[in-house]
Amino acid sequence: MQNKNIFFILLTIAMLGWGASWVNVKVLSLYVNEYEMIFLRFGIAALSFIPILIFLKKSFKIDKKTALLVLLAAVSNVAYMKYFFLGTKLGTAGLGGAFVTTLVPINTFIFMALFFGRKIGTKEILALLLGAFGVMMILGVWTLERSQVLTQYNLYFVLASILWPILTIASSKATKVAPIVFIFYMYSVTTLLVALFFVDFSFIKTLNYEPKFLFNIICIAIAGTTFATTIYFIGIEKLGTNEVSSFIFLVPFFAIGLSAMFLGESIGLHVIMGTILTIIAVSMLNNIKFDIITLIKK
């Protein structure tokens, strides 16, 4: 039980790292463009994964099908991170963290229903309607003018939330390799793709390596990527998917809180209420028993 409680603490820290990544990206957008950030984040993360995989005694071998899935996931990851970066740069980290994090599992469910025959019953329809209502609340469609809702950065957030399910589904189809190994290769190929096609390496010489930049790139690469991903997948192996999935509900609130704390962003009540509604919808869609009191005690 004590080891389990320690792991709950580690999972909470991991979710904090994921929530903080929105703040990290907002700060990093002052120093680098989207492709430079992707290269640095996933390049550092991929290198840091090597000793972890060796320590966990995971095999690095993958078959051709898994390699193709890695490529598909990496391409999706590059596109997702591009719109994640641009949306956060132009908009607010708190809104992005709440909107994208809660919309992704809803979009994933819709993808699975449309293309993989996942059944949609009455409960699922109600959950999707509730999720749609929650998303509209997050965007503030009743409090803002249409031009304020249909902004460029909101479009980027929508695109990001559509792209991530492709990555998720590709990862789930890679059944012949450990998930953490798949993630390592995805990060590696992501880095390679942007290095070959999008990055002008002269930026390394002109980059301002002040402490603020270094702190945020290390946070997003190590805390928000390597540590958080490792703890999440080890948690699934040790505790099971349902128990670990409940911790993901902490991410949007960490993103909102940290954005208010470090960026001075003002988050409206409609964003918080909409986030809660979409979380309830996600828990209904995925049959996750979500008890906020229990989660806080964890």
Q: Which residue has the tokens 């090597």?
A: 50
Among 153, 102, 151, CA closest to 282: 102
**Residue pLDDT, tens place only, 54-87:** 999 999 999 999 999 999 999 999 999 999 999 9
* 294 pLDDT more than 80: no
Q: How many CA atoms lie within 13 A of 29 on its CB side?
A: 19
* 293 pLDDT more than 50: no
Q: How confident is the model at residue 295 (pLDDT cuts 50, 70, 90)?
A: very low
The pLDDT of residue 251 is 86
The pLDDT of residue 297 is 37
Q: How confident is the model at residue 150 (pLDDT cuts 50, 70, 90)?
A: low
Q: Which residue has the tokens 């911790």?
A: 247
The pLDDT of residue 39 is 98
Distance CA(84)–CA(160), nearest Å, equals 6
Q: Which residue has the tokens 């940290």?
A: 258
Residues of the chain above pLDDT 90, percent: 45
The pLDDT of residue 291 is 44
* 12 pLDDT more than 70: yes
The domain segmentation of the chain, as residue ranges, is: 2-297
Residues 6+ apart with CB under 8 A from 233: 179, 180, 183
Average pLDDT taken over every residue of the chain: 85
* Average confidence (pLDDT) over 201-207: 93
* Average confidence (pLDDT) over 245-250: 76
Q: What is the DSSP string of 188-255?
A: HHHHHHHHHHT--TTHHHH----HHHHHHHHIIIIIIIIIHHHHHHHHHHHH-HHHHHGGGGHHHHHH
* Average confidence (pLDDT) over 253-282: 85
Q: Kindly report the number of other CB atoms within 10 A of residue 2's CB atom.
A: 6
**Residue pLDDT, tens place only, 22-54:** 999 999 999 999 999 999 999 999 999 999 999
Q: Kindly report the number of other CB atoms within 10 A of residue 56's CB atom.
A: 14
Distance CA(96)–CA(265), nearest Å, equals 12
